[in-house]
Every structure is written in C-alpha cells, then in structure tokens.
Structure 1
Amino acid sequence: MTSSLAKIEDFPSDPVEFFKEILQEAAKGHPDGFMQEMNLATVDEEFGVLNRTVLYRGLTQDNCVFYITHRYVRNFKNLQANPKACITFYMPDVKDKAGIQNSWQVRLIGATAVELPQSETDALWAKENLAAQIRGHICPCGEPINYDDLKARHDQFLEDHRGKPIEKPASYTAWKFQPQRWDFLKVGLDQIADRVQYRLQKDGKWESMHVST
C-alpha cells in the first residue's frame, strides 16, 4: 500500500483561465469529440436541494459559466425564487505534463444566477440541434404524458418543419453564474487530494490559496 499528497502547481492568477486549461487537457483524451457535463444544484420549496447533470455550454463574454433552460421547468422557477446555486464539474481522466492520470473536480461555490437578456439567446438557439429545438416546443417538462401521444406530436412537428427554421419559443432562456469562489480539487491514485481555491475579494480581484481537502 502507498500514500502520497497530490499537489497543484503552476496555476494562473485567474480561475477561469485555470478552468480552461483543465478542460483543454480533459479534451485531449477524447479525440473523436468531447462533451463536458456539469451538475447544477438549486433550492426548491417542495423538495429542498435539487440537482441535475447537464451539458456545459461554455462561457459568456464576461467569463461566466452559463446554463440554457426553459421558463416552464422547475430549475428556472427555483433560480427565479432563489438565485443562489452551486455548480460542479467532474473530470476523471486528465493527464498532467508527466503523463500521469488525475481526477479533477471544479466547483463554483456561492454562485448567483443572473438571467441573460433575450437578445443574447438568439445565437444560442441557432446553435441548438434539431432534437433540442423540437423539445422546446412539444415537451411539457415534468408533466405525466402518454408516450404514443407525444411521439405522434413529435413526428407531426418534425414533418411540418422539415427543411424550415424553427422559431425560438418565448420560454427559451439562459442564466449565467457569478461565483464567490472557484474551487479546484486534484487527486491521483492512492493520493490525498490537493485543493486550490480562488476567493473573490471586495475589490473584484481573486485571491488564490491551497486549502486542505
């Protein structure tokens, strides 16, 4: 049996740049295509804390992680009622410069959700695949359904819009997340994890430090 301490070295002063670096390294292990997932936790009056795992879509122009959703779904209502949220990224197969495989967990702690202006969602809608665009028009999220009825509705919608652009529904929207802290955890086989945390200061700058796992 062995044991050692993981160590995060040579991290940049800006947490977003560090996040981009890790994503870039994670993507190298997937030459045929890379899709990063993220787990979003919100607060719900009925169930308490609710979480869901969704695809990471990228960053806004001001370097905030954003999330696409619809106004009729529970997560929108949760964020509207309580904009505090937490996001976790898990990347289990990231090799360092020495070729050693590590697992990374990146968290946005104490994040405040801010809804994007509708003018900024037009470009996002245009990038959605066909299935996502159809879903935005025909799926009553969380409501009981009859599968055959929904399939018939889907097939008819697809036929009616074949070869035509699908209009963005009024429900389509997006949130960006402004965190108080970025938390980076790295661990390898038989290691105690190391963490680097960036804490937002009153002057808007980030202070970074190692913290115990």
Structure 2
Amino acid sequence: MAQTSALAKISDPPIDPVQLFKHLIETAGQGKPFIEMNLATIDEEFGVLNRTVVYRGLSSDNHVFYITHRYTRNCKNLQANPKACLTFYLPLVKNVDGMDKETLDSWQVRLIGATAVELPESEMDALWAKEDLPAKIRGHVFPCGEPVDYEQQKAKHDGFLNEHLSTGRAIERPATYTGWKFQPQLWDFLKVGQGQIADRVQYRLQSNGKWQSMHVAT
C-alpha cells in the first residue's frame, strides 16, 4: 500500500483559547470519569519534576486549577517557585459499530510559562464537599512521600473508614487542603491524525491582556 501524507488543520480557532480548550475537554471527556493533565514544576532537589494529576476544572476567572495538599512536594515547589507548565493529551474518539473506538484526532494542549496562584481559602469548603470518600480519607491518613509500613497504613485507613461509617459524621476539611490555578503566558494547541503532519495554533498573551493567535510550524 502506498504511503500518503497530509497536513492537519485547526480550522477557525476562536479568539479566546479557553473556548477552544473547553470544547476539547468536553469532547475528549465524554464517558470518562476524569481528565488527566501533566504538571511540571521547578524542584530544588531534582531541577524539574513532572507528575500526572487530575484536571479539576476552570476557576471563576477561567484558569485551569487543581487540588493538592500543602505537605506535598508539588505544593512546596509552587510555593518556592510559582512557574509551571501543564500538558493535556486529548485523543478524540468515536464509536464504531457501537463497540470499538476509533481515534479521530489527537490533541496536545500545553499551558506554557504559567504562574501558579493559590486559590483563596474561601473557596476550599465547596471544593472539599465535592471530593469522594477515598480523597477525604487520604487527606487525613496518608503522609505523602514518606516511607510507610503498608499494613500499618491499611490499619489506619480501615480504622478511619470504620469510625466515619459508624458515626456518620462528616469528614472535616484538613488545613493542608488547597488548590492552585495557573495563569499562562501562552496556550499551545497541536492537532494531528493518522498519516498527517501536525498543525499548531498558539495564543500569546499581549501587554493589553488580549490573546494573539497564530499557526506555528510543528
């Protein structure tokens, strides 16, 4: 079979990058319990550290945010140096014959040169109320990054769970629970399909606070 090549195209990108991002998240997230994003921070020990975390949504001012605890390394990294980058990999698929799935396009979305800003304390109770039970227990029981004995940790978890179930009391939000939003200097959208060369559209933040969009070579 002869090989072919084509150039992908991001057609009619909107003026606001968040509008395009919302569309991709809604399309890629259909049928999924959550969307992952990769977060890279500057680390005093290792230089740069990245990890995959759960995308929590957009803040009231349309910035990507996520939830963490103040004792985690990623939080300590952001406190020491708020510069960060985020990456989303978003394959868009369709059902074939009601069973198999076929990938239509793959998108990579990056937030480049982002500044992390901690969410205000006044917003945390509402976010805590949306957490599932495992996340709430983790916030109280698990010392992130510290060596542990598995059986001891399991005993702590089971004891906490049993007390919660037997008393019916709500699990209080720990003081460590916090969130960060990310204010990027540049949104980078890359689209590619099978047998294609990727197309990219970048939105660059201007001094007047508006976004300038352009196609850029991959």
Instruction: Confirm or deny a common fold (TM above 0.5).
Output: yes
TM-score normalised per structure 1: 0.94
Map 1:132-147 to 2 at 5 A: 132-147=135-150
- The 2-side partners of 1:172 and 1:27 are apart by 26
Partners of 2:25 and 2:110 in 1: CA distance: 13
Q: Which runs of 5+ in 2 are unaligned?
A: 95-101
Aligned to 1:157: 160
Runs of 4+ deviating beyond 2 Å = none
Change (3 A) 1:11 1:150: same
* 2:52 counterpart residue number: 53
1:188 counterpart = 2:190: no
Q: Following TM superposition, by how much is the alpha carbon of 1:34 offset from its aligned partner in structure 2, in angstroms?
A: 4.0
Aligned length: 207
Write the distance in 2 (CA, Å) between the matches of 1:210 and 1:122.
41
Show the 5 A alignment for 1:48-127: 48-94=47-93, 101-127=104-130
Structure 1 unaligned runs (5+)?
none
Choose the corresponding residue for 2:10, options 3, 8, 11: 8
In 2, Cα distance between equivalents of 1:26 and 1:205:
27
User: TM-score when scaled to structure 2?
Assistant: 0.92
Q: 2-side partners of 1:193 and 1:167: how far apart?
A: 47
CA contact (8 A) 1:40 1:51 kept: yes
Range 16-25 or range 176-185, more displaced: 16-25
CA distance in 1, matches of 2:105, 2:93: 5
Amino acid at match of 2:6: S
Task: Please tell me whether the aligned partners of residues 94 and 104 of structure 1 are also in contact (alpha carbons under 8 angstroms).
Answer: no
Amino acid at match of 2:122: S
